[in-house]
Amino acid sequence: MQDPKALVFDAYGTLFDVHSVTRLADSLHPGKGAALSQAWRTKQLEYTWQRSLMGRYDDFNAVTAEALDWALESLQLAATGEARTALMAAYRTLGLFPEVRGALARLGERRPLAILSNGHPDMLDAVVDHNELRVFFGERVFSVHEAGVFKPDPRVYAIVTARLELAAGSIGFVSSNGWDAAGAKSFGFSAFWVNRGKAPVERLGSPPDGAADDLAGVAALLPA
């Protein structure tokens, strides 16, 4: 495996902690915050896969809202307009995992960094700017919205090769989602898995080139 000429990161769950909404969710629905956050995220991902299979793309804002509505109803929680608006807004101000900034600083010393995410461009710009990550990524924040389909469709990863003007084999891809890392590897990227949940490797025929418990661990696998 060659040292990647560029590194591309998934956003949600890799850089940004999607479960940082739990505190807000718990304040709105006491004792149910963690369950709501988990159900919301699980259904959000399921809807991206199902919409891709059906050929019925809708942007990630809409998918996230639909998943929230499903999660609220599944837990028999009230879906007031004010609470729903607050929860949706929280996706624009998600917190960073604690090691992210240091790992990006190290990895960005010798190569350009980029983001490739299911997120709508508006959502991504908001959360990147909220966390002051533009210094690492500049305008290299890419959305599946360009392709009109969600990960792990190969057309999504092709956005990166076109925008960075690099061959797939020259690009490293970092994700906390094992299925996303597998999709990137299948496309031709070097794939690095941030295995935050200590899960087994996905049986999709495309194991990652490296794995670690967090982004700092992945950074240690690559030359600074």
Nearest Cα neighbor of 64 from 32, 30, 33, 37 is 37
Residue 76 pLDDT level (bands cut at 50, 70, 90): very high
Whole-angstrom distance, CA of residue 164 vs CA of residue 114: 9
Compute the Cα dihedral for 92, 57, 10, 73 and give only its sign: positive
CA distance 97 to 81: 29
Exposure letters 49-58 (e unless 16+ CB within 10 A, then b): eebbeeeebe
What secondary structure letter does DSSP report for 17?
A: E
3-state secondary structure at position 185:
helix
Nearest to 40 by CA among 24, 52, 54, 55: 24
Give bridge partners of residue 211 from the DSSP assignment. 193
Is the preceding omega at residue 152 within 30 degrees of 0, hence cis?
A: yes
Q: Is the pTM of this model over 0.85?
A: yes
Average pLDDT over residues 9-16: 98
CA separation for the pair 117, 123 (Å, rounded): 10
Angle of helix 33-54 relative to helix 60-74, nearest 10 degrees?
A: 130
What confidence score (pLDDT) does residue 90 get? 96
Judge whether 189 and 210 are in contact, CB under 8 Å: no
- Output the furthest CA–CA distance in the chain (Å, rounded): 52
In this predicted structure, what is the pLDDT of residue 2? 75
Cα dist from 215 to 45, 124, 198, 211, whole Å: 21, 19, 13, 9
For 97-149, the pLDDT digits (tens) are 999 999 999 999 999 999 999 999 999 999 999 999 999 999 999 999 999 99
Query: What's the rounded Cα separation, in Å, for the pair 108 and 110?
Result: 6
pLDDT given at position 80: 83
Residue numbers annotated as active site = 10
Q: Has residue 58 got a pLDDT over 80?
A: yes
Count other C-beta atoms under 10 Å from residue 99's C-beta: 16
Q: What is the dihedral of CA 166, 171, 177, 183, to 10 degrees?
A: 60
Q: Which domains does the chain have, with CATH numbers?
A: 6-16+94-221 (3.40.50.1000), 18-90 (1.10.150.240)
